[in-house]
Chain A
Amino acid sequence: MSDITLITRDGAKLSLAASPQETVLEAAEAAGLFLPAMCHEGSCGLCSAQIATGDYTMRGGPREPAADGSVPLCLCLPQSALTVNLPYPESGISHHRIPTRAATVTSITPAGSGAVTLSLTLQPDPEFGTAADFTPGQFMEVSIPGTEITRAYSLSNLPNWDGTLEFLIRLQPGGAFSTWLAQTAKPGDALTLRGPAGRFVLDEISPRPRCLVGGGCGFAPLLSMLRHLADFQNMQPTHLIFGANTEAELAVAAPLKALAAQLPNLTICYAVWHPQAAWHGFTGTAADALAQYLATATDLPDVYLCGPPRLVEAVTNVAQARGIPPARIYTEQVQLR
């Protein structure tokens, strides 16, 4: 058995033992520590962390660490004592398994620009009752009825006691869930969900301003976060950069009007990359808009970023170039499929 020391972002040290045949993630779960993780096969990246000291191999064969030196803990087999730097605080570690919940479709309504708002109602559960309990920014895995296919979608509403879950989903032509949603789904249909999960959540302790960057369906978790900030009358300066290819994609941003009225310290930049001639707003990508915003920012913000991989990469580069440390750039990648 090897001694594993997990060090969280806020400096908490958690110790456990692992055999060379079990992954760090399995050993942690055996010890009752449920680290953020989803796919358990090394692809989603949710469980990735840096191995600070020690030797390990990877289940399924050798594999290069990511650019930031992190490896998925779900494949990481310790061959000696390991010290692991977890990129989240201790509060991000659950001591319980991620729940599975049953729900029914309440409504599917167009949200503009090829997106729909999917509303579900959770069925009462012996352990959770009717509570829709999650942290704004988290996602749920939704299974397509009658199949093994699951997709993860961020929640766009607020936690509540009547079991309402709301997702903002951009329909992808040919996509499995999109096809089901567009062609088959109807109110009353039963669904199975797993969640909430994910660590893309607000650091509410941080005294710094916040900059939220996203676009398309990457807007869903940001919308939930903004609703939360409005609900709690948060007074910290918050800047939202909503990235779009054309003005038409701004349709999903409609709920922002009401939110802006409730959040006096919210400023919004709509960044349109390829606008029509009549566009008077910011022209360029979300990354361009962030560069412009940071150029004059006196107090560097925490950055919350959700979107497709290219957007995440470009925006991260801009934020880091301006001197925002990686630990203060919170990201969620959206896979379009």
Chain B
Amino acid sequence: MFCFQCEQTTRGPAGAGCATDKGVCGKDEATADLQDVLIHQLKGIGQYVSRLRTLGVADAAADTFILYGLFTTLTNVNFNRGRFVELISEAARLRDRLRTAFEAAAKAAGQVPEALSGPAAFVPADNITGLLAQANVASVIAGRDVVGEDVIGLRALLLYGLKGVAAYAHHAEVLGESRDEIAIGIAHALDVLASNPTDLGDMLEEALALGRLNFKVMETLDAANTGSFGTPSPHAVRTTPVEGKAILVSGHDFRDLHELLEATKGTGINVYTHGEMLPAHGYPKLREYSHLAGNYGGAWQNQQIEFAAFPGPIVMTSNCLIEPQPLYRNRIFTSGPVGWPGVRHVTNGDYAAVVQAAKALPGFTKTMEGPSLTVGFGRDAVLGAAGTVVEAVKSGAIRHFFLIGGCDGAAPGRNYFTEFAEQAPADTMILTLGCGKYRFNSHDFGTIGGLPRLLDIGQCNDTYSALVIATALAGAFNCGVNELPLSLVISWFEQKAAAVFLTLLALGVRNVRLGPTLPAFLTPAILDILVNQFGVLPITTAEADIKAALTPLAAE
């Protein structure tokens, strides 16, 4: 196996990347290799879908399969080798069908159908041993000796960014929102990757195009979330248990949460959010379920301890799953793209087994009181207070905004984000999104001009909301986003963050501070481009970075 797609990948003297029999995330070699084969097939599917689109033919099933297939390969999503064997054979059947459709469509258009090579012509073995033997062709570092590290690095940036784009698009699609423009853009990116591009300039352009596409995807996801569940508004979320039977929902997928709330309505079972599900409480149509009782625990990397201690079943709806411990392996369920061998998977929204487990398990025996977390500062809530905010900036009450967002993780270097938030001066406002917020969201930051100093915009999925806020503020001050008294401090962990990162670059947002470490696939030459052309700033220390951010002319 070789995988360097996430922040925690092995970094040793021999270079970066997980290349033994098991990745740092717990993904075993066979699963990693099968994921590579599936990605290779998806590139081939992208070749056909892209050409079919040129001929005016859309294939909704192929578009859906691409999103789902890419999502299964994100960090901490699907570890189930058997599932990948199934997906590989499904991909092979789909590719054959698309080939036939393409040939027919080309002939109908009076053209001689192009005979595609590369991934489009790949024939997967019919057994696991054969598939594993094919994996090196599909490896993200295939051809490295010939094309060099920089080409491999930019291809990786494209692929990993694309995975994030697909994951967000999948979240939107399950809520009924899809766009032709998105399907076309994703197939195009796969087609580009299938051609094994080598021109760094061209690839950078493709990466920016992907960033622009992701803006569209995030806008669509925002429409899907607000369209299904209403406009988020500020809401205090309880963080302590309520007596009674309990189910915990983690991951990002609001549709799954909604289905579970429906399935448990009237049963007396309480539903708690975990990790990135916390922002669900901001949506009126989710919190109207009185049994959506509160939030339990913190960010994803603490799940082994938190899930073990939770007195009911757990549903993991998307990233980020860690190896389920024996203590809770029988009572954790996966859904959507997620999987782990020997862990039960919920299909077609059938939560009967989860409800049965909740009834059998003890639940919470005592109601406890404690602090709450306020969520729901989406774009409407923040812009509703835009007048107050603008006045506070003009009067000097608010000196600066920090957007501290992104993923959390277990690495000690992530204390930077806690320190950054806590050391930010009292006349600065902190916006946050993603699970990185758990590093500081229990801290009392006080208020400025009647507004909380810490505004929780939502999930990493809500980047669109943050960008709308930034753009609206820029409008109010009659300046560009880069001229705002705003600094972005991004903690990245996996490929959704890579997609957001490309969007920020594509929108020309400069001086993004990125940490805790830079992606291992960014070579010094690529990093040089990002620093010089896009003003990307690797983080240093919280103290120095706050100081630099607040002295704009000197550092920025």
**Pairwise interchain contact A125-B360, C-beta atoms closer than 8 A:** no
**Pairwise interchain contact A95-B308, C-beta atoms closer than 8 A:** yes
Interface residues on B, range: 20 to 34
Q: With A91-B323, A133-B330 as given contacts, are A128 and B362 in contact (CB-CB < 8 Å)?
A: yes
Residues of B within 8 A of A207 (CB): 28, 30, 81, 128, 132
Give the contacting residue for B341; candidates A91, A94, A127, A205; CB below 8 A. A205
In the complex, what distance in Å separates the CA atom of A207 from the CA atom of B79? 12
**Pairwise interchain contact A135-B329, C-beta atoms closer than 8 A:** yes
A55 CB–B CB distance under 8 Å: no
- In A81-139, the 8 Å CB interface with B consists of 91-92, 94-96, 125-131, 133-135
A328 CB–B CB distance under 8 Å: no
Residue of B nearest to A236 (CB): B82
Residue of B nearest to A125 (CB): B362
Nearest-neighbour CB distance to chain A for B25, whole angstroms, equals 13
Give the contacting residue for B331; candidates A91, A131, A162, A228; CB below 8 A. A131
Q: With A204-B341, A234-B82 as given contacts, are A95 and B327 in contact (CB-CB < 8 Å)?
A: yes
**Pairwise interchain contact A159-B330, C-beta atoms closer than 8 A:** yes
Give the contacting residue for A299; candidates B85, B129, B305, B361; CB below 8 A. B129
Residues of B within 8 A of A313 (CB): none
In the complex, what distance in Å separates the CA atom of A58 from the CA atom of B134? 51
Residues of B within 8 A of A96 (CB): 308, 327
**Pairwise interchain contact B359-A202, C-beta atoms closer than 8 A:** no
In the complex, number of A-B residue pairs with CB atoms less than 8 Å apart: 66
**Pairwise interchain contact A131-B361, C-beta atoms closer than 8 A:** yes
Nearest-neighbour CB distance to chain A for B460, whole angstroms, equals 28
B56 CB–A CB distance under 8 Å: no
- In B293-352, the 8 Å CB interface with A consists of 305, 308, 311, 323, 325-327, 329-331, 341-342
Residue of B nearest to A229 (CB): B342
In the complex, what distance in Å separates the CA atom of A85 from the CA atom of B245? 41
Residues of B within 8 A of A126 (CB): 362, 365
Residue of B nearest to A196 (CB): B326
In the complex, what distance in Å separates the CA atom of A129 from the CA atom of B245? 10
**Pairwise interchain contact A135-B326, C-beta atoms closer than 8 A:** yes
In the complex, what distance in Å separates the CA atom of A159 from the CA atom of B323? 19
Most buried by A among B132, B323, B330, B363: B330
Residues of A within 8 A of B325 (CB): 91
B356 CB–A CB distance under 8 Å: yes
In the complex, what distance in Å separates the CA atom of A126 from the CA atom of B366? 12
**Pairwise interchain contact B82-A161, C-beta atoms closer than 8 A:** no
Nearest-neighbour CB distance to chain B for A267, whole angstroms, equals 16
Binary contact readout B450-476 vs A (1 if CB under 8 angstroms, 0 otherwise) = 000000000000000000000000000
A10 CB–B CB distance under 8 Å: yes
Residues of B within 8 A of A159 (CB): 330
Binary contact readout A200-233 vs B (1 if CB under 8 angstroms, 0 otherwise) = 0010110100000000000000000000100010
Residues of B within 8 A of A130 (CB): 360
Nearest-neighbour CB distance to chain B for A199, whole angstroms, equals 10
Give the contacting residue for B326; candidates A11, A91, A232, A234; CB below 8 A. A91
Residues of A within 8 A of B30 (CB): 207
In the complex, what distance in Å separates the CA atom of A88 from the CA atom of B327? 16
In the complex, what distance in Å separates the CA atom of A10 from the CA atom of B23? 11
- In A235-286, the 8 Å CB interface with B consists of 235-236
In the complex, what distance in Å separates the CA atom of A235 from the CA atom of B30? 15
- In B92-143, the 8 Å CB interface with A consists of 128-129, 132
User: With A96-B308, A235-B82 given, can you name 15 additional A-B contacts, CB distance below 8 Å?
Assistant: A10-B22, A92-B326, A126-B362, A126-B365, A129-B360, A129-B362, A131-B357, A131-B361, A133-B330, A134-B330, A135-B329, A161-B359, A207-B128, A228-B342, A236-B82
Residue positions of B touching A, CB distance < 8 A: 22, 28, 30-31, 79, 81-82, 85, 128-129, 132, 305, 308, 311, 323, 325-327, 329-331, 341-342, 356-357, 359-363, 365
Q: Which 5 A-B pairs have the closest CB atoms?
A: A161-B360, A207-B30, A204-B341, A204-B342, A129-B361
Please name 15 pairs of A and B residues whose Cβ atoms are closer than 8 Å in the assembled complex, sorted by A.
A92-B326, A94-B327, A128-B361, A130-B360, A131-B331, A131-B360, A134-B330, A135-B330, A161-B360, A161-B361, A163-B360, A205-B31, A232-B341, A232-B342, A235-B82
